[in-house]
Amino acid sequence: MSKLKFQNKINVENRKARFNYELLDRYEAGIQLYGTEIKSIRLGKVSIAESFCQFKSDELYIINMMIHEYDLGTYSNHTPRRERKLLLKRKELNKLLKKTKETGLTIIPLRMYLNDRGLAKITISLAKGKKLYDKREDLKQKDTKRDLDRIKKSF
């Protein structure tokens, strides 16, 4: 028997997350999906740019994640922006719940991808929002690094 290997082409990132938040801890979670949702993800019709995670009755859900409707789906097609349950171990869920309630941190998705078995996984992070002056400082560092790289390249 030969094992079927899926190609890991899907890699959706939340680029603004590193700019708007200071990232603390990272976790990898599975997502509870419908059949038409995973088919749309495999076609690359997914966006996590405006999404965030929230607890509802001791379960973690990803909210505002956009998975476009599957083109060949029938009447049983999914709604694009529904709440989707994240699959984590209870110990990790309790740790995240405690940190978000105590210190006012938030949970944001960083990256969504398909693993070797073809399952959709999402990397989430416990994050702290940056202030405006922190963002300005990051932009200054980015500009100086770019200038130094240009100078090094010319020599």
User: So what's the pLDDT on residue 92?
Assistant: 92
For 66-80, the pLDDT digits (tens) are 888 887 877 878 878
Superfamily of domain 11-154: Small protein B (2.40.280.10)
Task: Check pLDDT > 70 for residue 118.
Answer: yes
Angle ∠(138,155,147) on CA atoms, nearest 5:
15
For 68-111, the pLDDT digits (tens) are 888 787 787 887 888 999 999 999 999 988 888 888 788 999 99
Domain ranges of the chain: 11-154
The proportion of the chain whose per-residue pLDDT surpasses 90, expressed as a percent, equals: 21
For 36-64, the pLDDT digits (tens) are 888 888 888 888 888 889 999 889 999 99
Task: Check pLDDT > 50 for residue 27.
Answer: yes
User: So what's the pLDDT on residue 3?
Assistant: 52
Tokens of 12: 């959706």
Tokens of 32: 């509870």
